Amino acid sequence: MSSRSSTKILVVDDALFMRTILKDILNSNGFTNILEAGDGAAAIDMYRKNKPDITTMDVNMPGTDGMQALKSIMAMDPAAKIIMVTSVEQKQIMQDAIKAGAKDYVVKPFDRAMVSAVLSKVMRGR
């Protein structure tokens, strides 16, 4: 994958302040090409139009939730790199998400070091 500044990242969360926190973490890691979506339906549309290199996907959103959006995006692009975001350690949901194609997950409240480590791992394709 290309350098971090040209890596396109789609941040999906219904809470603006959560997108802002995540964007701040991404910026501090050198990622500047960041797109945003406020729900799963918008995420699917944004993914189709922009083909981001990495997508962070909140699990709990009104309307089309993160799991539905994950499955739709994986059906469209089996090589999609999606990192699920959950508020609590919901082990079963995260296992289901990994089975559905998610590459990894991070837990809110965000731990900057953990988010950075997961991003690096997913970028390397592991």
| Mean pLDDT per 10-residue segment, the chain (126 residues) | 83 96 95 97 98 96 96 98 86 92 94 94 85
pTM for the model stands at 0.94
- Total domains, the chain: 1
Domain of 85, in residue numbers: 4-124
What pLDDT is recorded for position 2? 52
- Give ∠ CA 77-71-35 in degrees, rounded to 5: 65
The pLDDT, as a whole number, for residue 1 is: 44
**pLDDT reported for residue 41:** 98
pLDDT of residue 73: 98
3-state secondary structure of 71: helix
CATH code, domain with 15: 3.40.50.2300
Cα–Cα distance measured from residue 82 to residue 64, given in angstroms and rounded to the nearest whole number: 16
- By CB neighbour count within 10 A (0-12 exposed, 13-18 middle, 19+ buried), where does 100 fall? middle
